[in-house]
Amino acid sequence: MKASRARNLPTPSVQRLPVYLRFLKEARRRGDDVVSCTRIAEEFGQLSVQVRKDLAITGVSGRPKVGYRVDELIEAIERFLGWDVKTTAFLVGAGNLGTAILNYEGFAEHGLDVVAAFDANPALFGKEINGRLVYPLDEIADRAAELRRQGRPVEMGVVTVPARAAQPVADRLVEIGVRAIWNYAPVRLDLPSDVVYEDVKLSASFAVLTNRLRRRDLEIVAD
Amino acid sequence: MKASRARNLPTPSVQRLPVYLRFLKEARRRGDDVVSCTRIAEEFGQLSVQVRKDLAITGVSGRPKVGYRVDELIEAIERFLGWDVKTTAFLVGAGNLGTAILNYEGFAEHGLDVVAAFDANPALFGKEINGRLVYPLDEIADRAAELRRQGRPVEMGVVTVPARAAQPVADRLVEIGVRAIWNYAPVRLDLPSDVVYEDVKLSASFAVLTNRLRRRDLEIVAD
């Protein structure tokens, strides 16, 4: 896991690419062919040099006094992020969080192709959520084998189960051969080093917010 | 917004505090009084010097060759994050994502006290989700005024509506006087500079994961 993390720096630059991408797609819709680094920096309240550095990881550099070609930059970001191809995925945990993810179309635009959902709760078996059926978790290996035979191996597992169920679910996903796990459960997973993974850290986001609020309070008191 | 961001560095350190906190609470349950920086670093695959730097922002430093006092460090992290006090909040958007957040108990442990949920969909009015009632969005100002009279002003708004509804909802939250917004909608909000905010960037998380997967593919091809 350490090796996998170390290899993927600079993470903050990667994390900023989606917002640049959204901005560039809006620019394309408006008919802009070229956009300057300064313009992007202004939009996001960042330093121009930081934007240039972020975008450079995709292999594209802007031309001095001209800027970036919008089409070229969109393509480079999507290729760098792997968003130019479809990623076949299973989602495990068809409760409210899983349903919210299945209903949100934004990830599909980034290539996420959730082909089936799984749950341990029989009340959910056979339910259809935004076009995907919910299967019994016990059938996950059979479904994966079927897709493999169709030439669509499952590459990613999206884990939206409660914390206590996350590790056993991750183990099953590893068994069926997924190569990536996107974990929404508030727990660290123990995974083989050849499986890439990412935790959605909602507590980290909440920490940043409440820390800001606390600091703001202290400033007001100090005033 | 720029000023607010710049003032809150180093964000990555703040983001790591919740996982240290969880680990420290487990240590306390096991009966450990003291924990070394090296032990924490090992647990999370980080450099010892990074852990020390992260923890130093809370104002606590470990004693050489001894380590941190677990109780003291837990208290310092919770105080630094503002998790030692309750934060009264409204949640707007009682769909699947909002329901998932209301059902998750973890944020309550960090002081988040969602006292009411709101939605524009009449089918949800009066529904109870984990002890919270869903009110019509149009009643949000009245509810906020009522709480203010009770000496419990609403400090935070949790935004779990679709992207197109997020800005108008944020505007209403600002009108009723919230001082912090936790935004789950995939859109950047335009907010007054005295309101602190944090976006839950699910696309950023997905970008990190798919970029890792793509890099792994390239390595395999190169082998």
| Dihedral (Cα; A104, A108, A112, A116), 10-degree rounding | 60
A208 interaction partners in chain B (CB closer than 8 Å): 8, 11, 14-15, 198
pLDDT of residue A35: 95
How would residue B219 be classed by pLDDT, with cut points 50, 70 and 90? confident
Distance from CA of A70 to the nearest CA of B (A): 19
pLDDT of residue A5: 42
Distance from CA of B52 to the nearest CA of A (A): 18
Of A8, A19, A156, which is closest to B215 when you measure between CB atoms?
A8
B95 interaction partners in chain A (CB closer than 8 Å): 100
A19 interaction partners in chain B (CB closer than 8 Å): 188, 201, 203-204
Is B211 in Cβ contact with A80 (below 8 Å)? Answer: yes
Of B82, B106, B197, which is closest to A211 when you measure between CB atoms?
B82
Cβ pairs A/B, distance under 8 A: 183
Which of B86, B210, B217 best tests the A interface by mutation, with the highest count of A CBs <10 A?
B210
Which of A209, A216, A217, A220 best tests the B interface by mutation, with the highest count of B CBs <10 A?
A209
pLDDT of residue A49: 92
- B193 to chain A: closest CA residue: A216
User: Helix, strand, or coil here: B35?
Assistant: strand
pLDDT of residue B221: 63
User: What is the per-residue pLDDT across B83-127, written as a single tens digit (0 to 9) for each?
Assistant: 999 999 999 999 999 999 999 988 999 999 999 999 999 999 999
Is B103 in Cβ contact with A206 (below 8 Å)? Answer: no
Fold of B87-204: Rossmann fold (3.40.50)
**Which class is domain B3-80?**
mainly alpha
Give CA–CA dist B194/B202, Å, rounded: 25
Give CA–CA dist B209/A196, Å, rounded: 7
Q: Give chain A as a 3 state SS string.
A: CHHHHHCCCCHHHHHHHHHHHHHHHHHHHHCCCEECHHHHHHHHCCCHHHHHHHHHCCCCCCECCCEEEHHHHHHHHHHHHCCCCCEEEEEECCCHHHHHHHHCCHHHHCCEEEEEEEECCHHHCCCEECCEEEEEHHHHHHHHHHHHHCCCCCCEEEECCCHHHHHHHHHHHHHCCCCEEEECCCCCCCCCCCCEEEECCHHHHHHHHHHHHHHHHHHHHHC
This prediction has a pTM of 0.89
Answer whether residue B198 shows pLDDT above 60: yes
- Identify whether the C-beta of residue A72 lies closer than 8 Å to the C-beta of residue A32: no
**For a pLDDT cut of 70, what percent of chain B falls above it?**
94
Is B96 in Cβ contact with A100 (below 8 Å)? Answer: yes
pLDDT of residue A7: 47
Supply A144's token pair: 């994966």
Ordered by start, the domain boundaries in chain A are 3-80, 87-204
Which candidate, A140, A113, A147, A85, places its Cα nearest to that of B213? Answer: A85
Is B100 in Cβ contact with A213 (below 8 Å)? Answer: no
0.85 surpassed by complex ipTM: yes
Cα diameter, chain A: 68
The parts of chain A modelled with pLDDT lower than 70 are 1-9, 220-223
Give CA–CA dist B152/B115, Å, rounded: 10
- Identify whether the C-beta of residue A141 lies closer than 8 Å to the C-beta of residue A176: yes
Beta pairing partners, A197: A181
